[in-house]
Amino acid sequence: QVQLVESGGGLVQTGNSLRLSCAASGLTFRRYAMGWFRQAPGKEREFVAGISWSGGSTSYADSVKGRFTISRDNAKNTVYLQMNSLKPEDTAVYYCAARPNAATRNDYEYAYWGQGTQVTVSS
């Protein structure tokens, strides 16, 4: 049974940082690309960042480029999202997701999802 478990969310002030983690089990992690998505209240889920199975290729939404960094540790079956210079508009539930082969920006192409972790940025 595949499980993705996010952690690291919380309440922070504008300009501060958080690091989210997503621990995977039940799959051969190194064969999966990983993505981070988020959903704010009343809004559709949106792509945040993606990383290839090797970690050699990453992509970001324009809204987070230069502030967020996605990385992975295949030895620990974990993907991370380092979030710096947080803004109130970053407030959302953050989800990690896994799919075979290459990462994409389309949530419907991901096979497995975590339960999400809340990030709240106060102004």
pLDDT at 26: 97
Q: Coil, helix or strand for 88?
A: helix
- Residue 93 has what pLDDT? 98
Task: Output the pLDDT for position 71.
Answer: 98
> Are 92 and 60 contacting, i.e. CB atoms less than 8 angstroms apart?
no
Those residues with Cβ within 8 angstroms of residue 33's Cβ, 6 or more apart along the chain or in another chain:
50, 51, 52, 53, 98, 99, 100, 101, 102, 103, 104
- Please report the pLDDT score of residue 46 as a whole number: 98
Q: Evaluate whether 79 touches 99 at the Cβ level (below 8 Å).
A: no
What's the pLDDT score for residue 101? 82
CA–CA distance, 113 with 104 (Å, rounded to integer): 14
Sheet holding 78-83, edge to edge: 3-7, 18-25, 78-83, 68-73
pLDDT digit string, tens, across residues 20-69: 999 999 999 999 999 999 999 999 999 999 999 999 999 999 999 999 99
DSSP state of 53: T
- pLDDT more than 90, % of the chain: 98
